[in-house]
Amino acid sequence: MTSHAHHHHHQAQGGGPWRLAAQATLHCLTGCVIGEVAGLAIGVTIGLPAWQTIVLATLLSYASGIILGLLPVMGDRAIGALAALRIIWVGEVVSIGVMELAMNFADYQLGGMGAPSILSWMFWRGLLAAVPAGFLAAWPVNSWLLRRDLKSCH
């Protein structure tokens, strides 16, 4: 099933394009948050400077986000990882990139990356702001990507 047909299949189930984009964004956010939390926790725990923590969190977010994007496409279409990556890569790279910019900016502004440990309020305050910031930044981008068949619904 092409992403276009898959896209309309989900729309026919109700909710319209913004709801579909919200669902795609939540799915993407799940993958990003896994990598983001892991990267931030590692960076804060070993005392990396903020920029190195951002790089680590972003790389891990891409890894976890793309893996979570690949799995449903591979299962739905009975294809291998490389074939699935060819389908999803543009949408995932753009969506995760926008999400990571917003999340890292929010977290940095609130001092989460400079927290003394992952047990401190500073660390969690940064994440509590970063997650909705990432969603709100990526939602319209995912809507645009879906309308242009550059993102697959999963």
pLDDT digits (tens, 9 = 90+) for 28-44: 899 899 999 999 999 99
pLDDT digits (tens, 9 = 90+) for 78-107: 999 999 999 999 999 999 999 999 999 999
pLDDT grade, residue 16 (50/70/90)? confident
Hey, CA dihedral for 129, 131, 134, 137, is it positive or negative? negative
Specify the pTM. Answer: 0.85
Query: Per residue in 26-64, is it b (16+ CB within 10 Å) or e — as a string?
Result: ebbbebbbbbbbbbbbbbbeeebebeebbebbbebbbbb
pLDDT at residue 76 greater than cutoff 50: yes
Mean pLDDT within 105-119: 94
